[in-house]
Structure 1
Amino acid sequence: MAASLFAPLDKKAALLAFLIGLVAILGALASQVFGGLVPCELCLEQRMSYYWGLPLLAVILLTWNRLPLTVWYTAMAVVTAIFIWGAYMGAYHAGVEWGFWPGPTACTGVGEMVSFDAMSNLNAAHVVGCDVVQFRLFGISMAGYNALASLAMVGLLALSIFAQYRRQAR
């Protein structure tokens, strides 16, 4: 009976993780395009986990019953590791925003001066520091929400792996 509880859970958990990731990256892109928020260097770095992890997870979902188990486990482990890194980046960026630790000197205003080539376009450029919060909802910045979304995805992917393991162990 316990194994039957996990049978439909493996794919549903992975699909839910994919949907959370898709909403997160589309929300970030919409806030930039339609909301006028300018992403900093750490914001752009955080998006990399979605750009790499979501397509791989989509391939896994589309080939769910056709992948050999070793390939499936390896791919799921890679996707989970990508979003663990994404959760770390989101938490790191949120910590920079709260002033818990210093951010990279390139995006917190402590780095080198702007080059002469960049000076010619200085009026057109809009650079946002990584320690500047442009948007908060319920006291949490977008970096914080990214960390939470990535953590939720990691949990769901781990649940999917565990459920698949339990189903195969029957």
Structure 2
Amino acid sequence: MTLSRNILVALATAGSAAVLLGAFGFQYIGGLPPCHLCLWQRWPHAIAILIGALALAVPGRVLPVLGALAALATAAVGVYHTGVERKWWEGPTTCTASGDISTLSADDAINQIMGAAITRCDDVLWQFLGLSMASWNAIISVVLAGLWIAAARKSRA
């Protein structure tokens, strides 16, 4: 059984929506605040959802190719984040400190620090089968990219 272009687009779009809903569930229901790299992984999924909505209405290959690029972008950030978590390389400084506090009073600086939800990019807050959320995002996103590419191949120029 072969799937049509629109079914493949719908599956890829639904996959990104499911990943985003899962991330929001872990954050708001599970109480696991995201780090900066976690947030960076969300944006391409949101873009892929918008691309998917357009691709269902507009024929052609361009939008599925853009959907594949969005999925590959979040997969790349997921692989990078996994490397940071496993200490293969250092993460960005935004994951350990934020902003210039030199202009704040000591009390304001302490209040800002104490009021911030701190989640380091190199801390694994949840894992399943030995893989973190970043790793699962990378794996799922590569599968979604495959769906987008299959949709592009089924599209008419």
Question: Could you state the TM-score of these two structures normalised by the residue count of structure 1?
Answer: 0.81
Counterpart among 89, 103, 109 of residue 101 in structure 1: 89
> How far apart in 1 are the matches of 2:67 and 2:90?
29
Give the superposed CA RMSD.
2.0
Q: Counterparts of 1:1-170 in structure 2 under 5 Å?
A: 6=2, 8-61=3-56, 63=57, 67=58, 69=59, 72-107=60-95, 109=96, 115=101, 116=104, 117-164=108-155
> How far apart in 1 are the matches of 2:109 and 2:137?
31
Task: Identify which range, 51-60 or 28-37, moves more after superposition.
Answer: 51-60
Q: Which structure's CA Rg is the greater one? A: 1
1:67-92 alpha-carbon deviations (Å, 9 max, x no partner) = 3x5xx211221121111111101111
> How far apart in 2 are the matches of 1:10 and 1:38?
36
Give me the identity figure in percent. Answer: 30
User: How many matched pairs?
Assistant: 152
> How far apart in 1 are the matches of 2:71 and 2:109?
34
Once the two structures are TM-superposed, the CA of residue 119 in structure 1 deviates from its matched residue by 2.6
1:53-77 alpha-carbon deviations (Å, 9 max, x no partner) = 211211212x1xxx3x5xx211221
Once the two structures are TM-superposed, the CA of residue 162 in structure 1 deviates from its matched residue by 1.5
Once the two structures are TM-superposed, the CA of residue 124 in structure 1 deviates from its matched residue by 2.0
Moved over 6 A (4+): none
- Write the letter of the residue equivalent to 1:154: A
Once the two structures are TM-superposed, the CA of residue 25 in structure 1 deviates from its matched residue by 0.5
> How far apart in 2 are the matches of 1:154 and 1:34?
28
Once the two structures are TM-superposed, the CA of residue 123 in structure 1 deviates from its matched residue by 2.0
- Write the letter of the residue equivalent to 1:77: V
> How far apart in 2 are the matches of 1:29 and 1:36?
10
Structure 1: state its 5+ residue gaps.
Answer: none
Once the two structures are TM-superposed, the CA of residue 159 in structure 1 deviates from its matched residue by 1.0
Alignment check: 8 A CA contact 2:11 2:147 kept = yes
> How far apart in 2 are the matches of 1:112 and 1:19?
34
